[in-house]
Chains A and B, each alone.
Chain A
Amino acid sequence: MIPINAVFGLGLLLFFIGLFGVLFRKNLVIMLMSLELLLNGVNILFAGLGHHLKSPRGSIFALFVILMAVSEAAVGFALVLSFFRSKKTYDVDEMNELKG
Chain B
Amino acid sequence: MTAVFAWIPLFPLAGALLNGVLGIRLFSRRAVHAVGVGAAGLSFLASAVSFAGLLGAPGASVTRTLFTWIPASLVSVAGGRAVPVSFEMAFRYDSLAAVMTLVVTGVGLLIHVYSMGYMAHDRSYARFFAYLNLFTFAMLVLVLGANLAVMFVGWEGVGLCSYLLIGFWFTKDSAANAGKKAFITNRVGDFGFLLGIGLLLATLGTVDTAGITAAAQGGLLTPGLATAAALLLFLGATGKSAQIPLYTWLPDAMEGPTPVSALIHAATMVTAGVYMVARLHALFTLSGTALTVVAVVGVATAVYAATMGLVQNDIKRVLAYSTISQIGYMFVGLGVGAFSAGIFHLMTHAFFKSLLFLSAGSVIHALSGEQDMRRMGGLRSRLPRTYPVFVVGALAIAGVPALSGFFSKDEILAAAFASGRYGVWAAGLVGAALTAFYMFRLIFLTFFGPDRMDEEAKRHLHESPRVMTAPLQVLAVLAAVGGYVGLPRVLGGGAWFGRFLAPSVGEHEAGIAGGTELLLMALSAAIGIGGILAAHAVYVRKEGRPAARFVERFPAVYRLVSHLYYVDDVYNKVLVRGVMRLGSILGWIDEHVVDGLVNGAAALVRAISRLAIGFDGEVIDGAVNGIGSLSRLIATGLRGLQTGFVYNYALAIVLGLVIIIALVVTIL
- Which residues of A sit under 8 angstroms from B644, Cβ to Cβ? 95-99
For window 60-98 of A, CB contacts with B under 8 Å fall at: 92-93, 95-98
**Contact status B645-A93, CB under 8 Å:** yes
**Contact status B642-A100, CB under 8 Å:** yes
B620 within 8 A of A: no
- Which residues of A sit under 8 angstroms from B624, Cβ to Cβ? none
**Contact status B642-A99, CB under 8 Å:** yes
- Chain B, interface SS category: helix
A19 within 8 A of B: yes
**Contact pattern, B 625-656, Cβ under 8 Å of A = 1, otherwise 0:** 00000000000000000111111011100100
Q: How far is the CA of A41 from the CA of B646 in the complex (A)?
A: 22
Separation in Å of the A23 CB from the closest CB of chain B? 5
Most chain A beta-carbon contacts within 10 A, residue among B642, B644, B647, B654: B647
- Which residues of B sit under 8 angstroms from A96, Cβ to Cβ? 643-645
Q: How far is the CA of A24 from the CA of B647 in the complex (A)?
A: 7
Separation in Å of the A22 CB from the closest CB of chain B? 6
- Which residues of A sit under 8 angstroms from B646, Cβ to Cβ? 92, 95, 98
- Which residues of A sit under 8 angstroms from B654, Cβ to Cβ? 19, 23
Separation in Å of the A4 CB from the closest CB of chain B? 20
Of A23, A97, A99, A100, which is within 8 A of B647 by CB?
Answer: A23
**Contact status A23-B651, CB under 8 Å:** yes
**Contact status B645-A95, CB under 8 Å:** yes
- Which residues of A sit under 8 angstroms from B651, Cβ to Cβ? 23
For window 83-141 of B, CB contacts with A under 8 Å fall at: none
Q: Give the residue name and chain of the A residue nearest to B642 (CB).
A: A99
**Contact pattern, A 1-37, Cβ under 8 Å of B = 1, otherwise 0:** 0000000000000000001001110000001000000
Q: How far is the CA of A19 from the CA of B650 in the complex (A)?
A: 10
Separation in Å of the B416 CB from the closest CB of chain A? 118
- Which residues of B sit under 8 angstroms from A99, Cβ to Cβ? 642-644
- Which residues of A sit under 8 angstroms from B647, Cβ to Cβ? 22-24, 31, 92
Most chain A beta-carbon contacts within 10 A, residue among B645, B649, B650, B651: B645
Most chain B beta-carbon contacts within 10 A, residue among A19, A97, A99: A99
Q: How far is the CA of A93 from the CA of B654 in the complex (A)?
A: 19
Separation in Å of the A69 CB from the closest CB of chain B? 17
- Which residues of A sit under 8 angstroms from B649, Cβ to Cβ? 98
Q: How far is the CA of A96 from the CA of B646 in the complex (A)?
A: 7
**Contact status B650-A92, CB under 8 Å:** no
Q: How far is the CA of A96 from the CA of B643 in the complex (A)?
A: 7
Q: How far is the CA of A17 from the CA of B516 in the complex (A)?
A: 159
- Which residues of B sit under 8 angstroms from A31, Cβ to Cβ? 647
Of A22, A93, A97, A100, which is within 8 A of B650 by CB?
Answer: A22
Q: Give the residue name and chain of the A residue nearest to B653 (CB).
A: A23
- Which residues of B sit under 8 angstroms from A93, Cβ to Cβ? 645
Q: Give the residue name and chain of the B residue nearest to A99 (CB).
A: B644
Separation in Å of the A79 CB from the closest CB of chain B? 11
- Which residues of B sit under 8 angstroms from A19, Cβ to Cβ? 654
- Which residues of A sit under 8 angstroms from B645, Cβ to Cβ? 92-93, 95-96, 98
- Which residues of B sit under 8 angstroms from A92, Cβ to Cβ? 645-647
Separation in Å of the A20 CB from the closest CB of chain B? 10
Q: How far is the CA of A24 from the CA of B650 in the complex (A)?
A: 10
Separation in Å of the A65 CB from the closest CB of chain B? 18
Separation in Å of the B141 CB from the closest CB of chain A? 92
- Which residues of B sit under 8 angstroms from A22, Cβ to Cβ? 647, 650
Q: Give the residue name and chain of the A residue nearest to B647 (CB).
A: A23
Q: How far is the CA of A98 from the CA of B642 in the complex (A)?
A: 8
Separation in Å of the B650 CB from the closest CB of chain A? 6
Q: How far is the CA of A93 from the CA of B647 in the complex (A)?
A: 9
Q: How far is the CA of A61 from the CA of B643 in the complex (A)?
A: 35
For window 401-426 of B, CB contacts with A under 8 Å fall at: none
Separation in Å of the A7 CB from the closest CB of chain B? 20
Interchain Cβ contacts under 8 Å between A and B, 17 examples: A19-B654, A23-B647, A24-B647, A92-B645, A92-B646, A92-B647, A93-B645, A95-B645, A95-B646, A96-B643, A96-B644, A97-B644, A98-B644, A98-B645, A99-B642, A99-B643, A99-B644
Q: In the A-B complex, list the 6 residue pairs whose CB atoms are closest, starting with the nearest.
A: A96-B644, A99-B644, A99-B642, A98-B644, A23-B651, A23-B647
Known: A23-B647, A23-B651, A92-B646. 8 other contacts (CB 8 A): A23-B654, A92-B647, A93-B645, A95-B646, A96-B643, A98-B644, A99-B643, A99-B644
